[in-house]
Amino acid sequence: MTRFGLLLTSDGFASQSVPAMLLFAKTALNHGHRIDHIFLYQDAVNCAAANIDLPADEPDFSAELAAFCRRHNIPLLFCVTAAEKRGVVSNTLSARQGYTAAGLAEFAMRQADIDKLVQF
C-alpha cells in the first residue's frame, strides 16, 4: 500500500487538473492505496473560493473535490498565503466549505508521512 500526497498547482477552473486528480485519487483508493492529504498551491487555490458562481451547465469540480475529501476523510488544504494574494480569502472572505487554510510549513511536514507526492 502506497501513501500518496497530492499537490494541485494549476487553476481548477482553467484546466482539467481537478478532474484528473479526482480520477487518480479514486483509482488509488480503489486499489488499496491511501491519500494522506491534498494540498492546493499557486493558482489552484482558486478552487477554495466561496464566491464562485458557475453557469448551471458547468460541473463544479471544486465542490466535487470537497465532497470526495469529506467522504474519505482526506484533509483538503490550501496555501493561505497564495489564497490571500489572489483575493480568495481575507479578513472578510472565508474559504469554501471543506477547504482548510494551511501554510507551506504544514505541507512540508506532511511530506514525511507519505511515500509519493503526485503533482497536478
DSSP track, the chain: --EEEEEE-S-TTTSSHHHHHHHHHHHHHHTT-EEEEEEE-GGGGGGGBTT----TTS--HHHHHHHHHHHTT--EEEEHHHHHHTTSS-SS-PBPTT-EEE-HHHHHHHGGG-SEEEE-
Has residue 105 got a pLDDT over 90? yes
What is the per-residue pLDDT for 52?
Answer: 84
**CATH code, 3-35+44-119:** 3.40.1260.10
For the entire predicted model, the pTM comes to 0.93
The per-residue pLDDT of the chain, averaged, comes to 95
Q: With pLDDT > 90 as the criterion, what percentage of the chain qualifies?
A: 84
| Lookup: cell for 112 | 514525511
Task: Break the chain into its structural domains and give their ranges.
Answer: 3-35+44-119
